Structure 1
Amino acid sequence: MKPTVRAFLTCTLLPFLFGGCGNKQEGYEVRSGKVMWNTWRGDGLNGTWSEGVVTEDANGFEILQQKTGNMNGYAKNTQSVFYGPNTLEGADAKTFKLMDDAGMARDAKHVYDWGTVIKGADPESFQRTTLGYVGRDKNDYFYDGEPLHVRDMASFKILQDAAACSRDKKHCIWARDKFDYYVEKQANPIADSKGFQVVQSVYAKDAKQVYYGNSVLSGADAATFQGLGDTSGEFTKDARRVYRRGEPVEGWDAATIQLLDFSYAKDRKHAYFRLESSNAPLILAGADARTFEVIGPSSKGFGYARDAKQVYYGAEAIPGADPATFVLDAKDTEKASDKHRQYHYGRPGN
């Protein structure tokens, strides 16, 4: 490697990835009796270091947690507590300590999450729950640091794990007590507490009504309401209708609907392709629902299917493809063939 190239990598790329020239790294640094806060401003190839003074006196300074990703980290001395370059006003340095390695800390008076006080939280009893963005103490539950003012702590129950109910999953019903169920920070009244149950994470039902997220699913029959088993949880049905994202799917036959792999579905009348966007599922024009079946996946997030007459790539029929002899390449599912020709991405060609 040429010296100029080596120098470029060492003083531009490596500071971002590994801490930089002169052992500089993002976060706290004790230097010449002062405590500095170092920040890299730039990308992996170009940028500069910025630094500021956290405190002029490094005596007694203790780094509790160095900067990690977007979390600045905590430190303290005998008088003050710091979150990144800033002093945590009102924090008690004598009793301040970390609660975990994900930004949670406490002192005698407060609980802190990423340097922000969780108002009203009891520091002695506060703890994270199995949903990392939800905490609790002896008096209440807290969602992203905000109190929920739970009406009945004794019956409060978390219903989902983090995989089923991630913070960014809209409409997810994650908890309940005997009075309410919860979607994000909102409490919603339960009509029949004894019969309440979650259906596929974003729906629930009791003996009286069906719920979708924060809303009652108008017209749904609670007695026959059930999930259809799709991984997204968005499809359900009752005796009369199929529902997607809390809305009836027009034309689908609830008695015979089947969700198939790779975004396909069928009922006694039609075959469908289920778009992941907000658009309604498409009817595959001319498809024979009786003989319709899925062949296998593609690498584009959908798949191949066929009936007695046609082969489909996603929602499109492949012109001229022979369904009886059409097969996918075992090594590359974007390639296929039949007795006539080869196909690539659902089109004739190698």
Structure 2
Amino acid sequence: MIARFFLPVFLCLFLTCSQGYHYKYWFFPYYEDKKIDTNDREGFVILSKQFAKDKTNIYFKEFVLKNIDPSSFRIINHSYFTDQKSVYYISSQTELKTNSPKAWIIIIPLDLKIWTEDNLVMIPLEESDPKTFRILKNHSGSDTEYGMDANHLYHEGTLLEKGNTDSVLVLNSHFYDIIKTKISIYYEGEKVKGADPATFSLYDNYAKDTKGCFYFNALRVSLFACDPESFKPLSYPNPLDPKISMDSDYAKDRTSVFWQGTRIRNADPESFLLDEDRKDCPYAGACARDKSSVYLLGMPKE
């Protein structure tokens, strides 16, 4: 109980917790340490940490949003909102600035100044319908960066597909938000090349269809040859809850063993299994063995 209480306080002290919108001196609205210029202080309303409004304007962080109708404005989540005209994707990008562009290449001048500037990104979603738009949620109930209305699928403001969206699914993964439609599989807003939605089956890091196998990580998707009928990842009990099974980066089929989608040469699939009792494992699921070798992070140990 004590740890639960003090951990957020500790993080706030050392990582600078965001205040978002708040009032100073009871009357003056601020976003973080920046005062908001409004001619309607009495009508100014804080809607969330990131959004506020008065009678004539909508505010996102320190920005005034132009051409947005306050009377029909509705927050969907931290990245999306609507008015009567459209659905919008919004974010801010922080850019590092310096008064000496060549400072890093030549020498650091004595008068060097470094600061950051936030730039607003606001995208009206093409052909969007505010009345039917909603955010897709993953298996844990958290919002993804995907949204859809009755006839369109979007990712971070970009239109991915047109057509009826009744068949759109967020596939069940502990790690990634992967979307399946009738015609495509999407990861990070990009089509997974070579994937067949009709036969696509997702594990955690691995997936397969009738033509081949896939390995997902935070940077990319790898397509590799396998025997889909016999392919399966090797799993281990979740260290926090042994009742839950977690897929490792090892997988095998009838003829081969794989680590992160790459075939392990000379590994024997018939005898290959995870070695959970090894003391030199950096994390669960990293060690394995077969009849002739032991493996660490996909490499045989000599």
Q: 1:302 to 1:326 in 2, by over 3 A?
A: closer
Q: 1:225 to 1:323 in 2, by over 3 A?
A: same
Code of the residue aligned with 1:215 in structure 2: it is T
TM-score, reference length from structure 1: 0.57
Distance 1:194 1:102 in 2: 28
Q: Bigger relative contact order, structure 1 or 2, given CA contacts below 8 A and separation 6+?
A: 2
Distance 1:334 1:121 in 2: 60
Residue in structure 2 matched with residue 342 of structure 1 by the alignment: 294
Distance 1:245 1:178 in 2: 29
Q: CA deviation at 1:156?
A: 3.3
Code of the residue aligned with 2:218 in structure 1: it is E
State the secondary structure of the residue aligned to 2:292: coil
Q: 1:241 to 1:134 in 2, by over 3 A?
A: same
State the secondary structure of the residue aligned to 1:295: strand
Code of the residue aligned with 2:186 in structure 1: it is Y
Distance 1:217 1:153 in 2: 28
State the secondary structure of the residue aligned to 2:132: coil
Distance 2:230 2:39 in 1: 60
Q: CA deviation at 1:120?
A: 2.3
Residue in structure 2 matched with residue 294 of structure 1 by the alignment: 233
Whether contact under 8 Å (1:141, 1:150) holds in the other structure is no
The reply on whether 1:325 has 2:271 as its aligned counterpart is yes
Match of 1:120 among 33, 38, 60: 38
Residue in structure 2 matched with residue 157 of structure 1 by the alignment: 74
The reply on whether 1:147 has 2:51 as its aligned counterpart is no
Q: Percent identity?
A: 25
Code of the residue aligned with 1:194 in structure 2: it is K
The reply on whether 1:214 has 2:157 as its aligned counterpart is yes
Match of 2:89 among 183, 190, 194: 183
Distance 1:239 1:155 in 2: 34
Code of the residue aligned with 1:307 in structure 2: it is D
Residue in structure 2 matched with residue 77 of structure 1 by the alignment: none
Whether contact under 8 Å (1:322, 1:339) holds in the other structure is yes
Residue in structure 2 matched with residue 252 of structure 1 by the alignment: 195
The reply on whether 1:265 has 2:207 as its aligned counterpart is yes
Q: CA deviation at 1:204?
A: 2.1
Which runs of 5 or more structure 2 residues have no equivalent in the other structure?
1-12, 91-120, 138-143, 239-246
Whether contact under 8 Å (2:248, 2:286) holds in the other structure is no
Q: 1:329 to 1:156 in 2, by over 3 A?
A: farther
Whether contact under 8 Å (2:51, 2:61) holds in the other structure is yes
State the secondary structure of the residue aligned to 2:288: strand
The reply on whether 1:192 has 2:129 as its aligned counterpart is yes
Distance 1:186 1:102 in 2: 19
Q: CA deviation at 1:340?
A: 2.5
Q: 1:102 to 1:158 in 2, by over 3 A?
A: closer
Q: CA deviation at 1:231?
A: 5.9
Once the two structures are overlaid, the 10-residue window that deviates more, 176-185 or 251-260, is 176-185
Distance 1:244 1:102 in 2: 31
Deviation per residue, 1:267-305 (Å, 9 max, x gap): 12211112422x4x22222x111111111379xx96111
State the secondary structure of the residue aligned to 1:202: strand
Distance 2:272 2:147 in 1: 42
Q: Which of the two has greater strand per residue? A: 2
State the secondary structure of the residue aligned to 1:256: coil
Which runs of 5 or more structure 1 residues have no equivalent in the other structure?
1-67, 72-99, 166-172
Residue in structure 1 matched with residue 218 of structure 2 by the alignment: 276
Pick the structure with greater CA Rg. 1
Deviation per residue, 1:12-54 (Å, 9 max, x gap): xxxxxxxxxxxxxxxxxxxxxxxxxxxxxxxxxxxxxxxxxxx
Deviation per residue, 1:249-281 (Å, 9 max, x gap): 2211011112211x211112211112422x4x2
Whether contact under 8 Å (1:135, 1:145) holds in the other structure is no
Distance 2:170 2:294 in 1: 39
Coordinate RMSD, CA, aligned = 3.5
Whether contact under 8 Å (1:120, 1:147) holds in the other structure is no
Q: CA deviation at 1:134?
A: 3.1
Deviation per residue, 1:68-117 (Å, 9 max, x gap): 6687xxxxxxxxxxxxxxxxxxxxxxxxxxxx966843358742234322
Aligned residues: 238
Code of the residue aligned with 1:288 in structure 2: it is D
